[in-house]
Amino acid sequence: MTRWILGAIVVVLGAALVVWNSARGGRSVSQKEPVRYSGIDFRAHRRASVADYRGTPVLLTSWATWCVECREELPSLVTFWESRRNHGLVVIAVNVDAPDASRGIEAMVKKYSLAMPVWLDEANAYASAFGALGVPTSVLIDANGKVARTWMGRIDFQSPAVANTVDATLIR
């Protein structure tokens, strides 16, 4: 019984740490290997991979048509992308809806003017690849292809903490 209680306390403290760390601007991730994540390019209808962008920082942000926080975050993401795209940052909006949601995805791409690359997470691999507990989850990948920072939940891309973290990875 004591081990069960101790285990429960460890789980609760771990979850609290993730929430606290996320509220402070994300969490750093120690990683030895470059990211191996791919999806389907929504517009080109072909496989696309993070490895295609090696040498360039990449910001992946997951979203879904049913996600209220995503709807709140997408305008900020678009503004952020527009301000950084000519400075060496690739922003990719990764949709995690079921494969049959293409009409809803297309409607949101138009509604929020998502001109940046949009990928479909057809293999449902985003959560496991990045430890995402839900949507939205944003992952900053450095020019070496390694995760530099992860933010879970809606974030304000205009906040100085987020902007400074991303800007530190930009190629100068």
pLDDT of residue 39: 97
Q: For residues 105-129, give the mean pLDDT.
A: 96
- Band of pLDDT at residue 99, cut at 50, 70 and 90: confident
**Separation between Cα atoms, residue 56 and residue 35, nearest integer Å:** 13
Burial per residue of 75-105, b for 16 or more beta-carbon CB atoms within 10 angstroms, e otherwise: ebbbebbeebeeeebbbbbbbbbeeebeeeb
Give me the CATH code for the 27-167 domain, please. Answer: 3.40.30.10
Residue 25 has a pLDDT of 47
**136 cis-preceded (ω within 30 degrees of 0):** yes
Q: How far apart are CA 80 and CA 157, in angstroms?
A: 6
The residue extents of the domains of the chain are 27-167
Over residues 150-163, mean pLDDT: 95
List the end-to-end C-alpha distance of the chain, in Å, as a whole number.
56
Beta strands in the chain (DSSP E): 38-41, 47-49, 58-63, 90-95, 118-120, 137-141, 147-152
Section 45-50 average pLDDT = 96
- pLDDT number for residue 172: 60
pLDDT above 50 (res 152): yes
Give per-residue pLDDT as tens, 136-145. 999 999 999 9
Q: Over the Cα atoms of the chain, what is R_g?
A: 16
**Considering the chain, what is the average pLDDT of its residues?**
86
Provide CB contacts within 8 A for 168, sequence distance 6+.
Answer: none
2 pLDDT band (50/70/90 cuts)?
A: low
Q: What is the pLDDT of residues 54-65, one digit of tens each?
A: 999 999 999 999
pLDDT tens readout for residues 4-38: 444 344 334 344 434 444 443 444 444 568 899 99
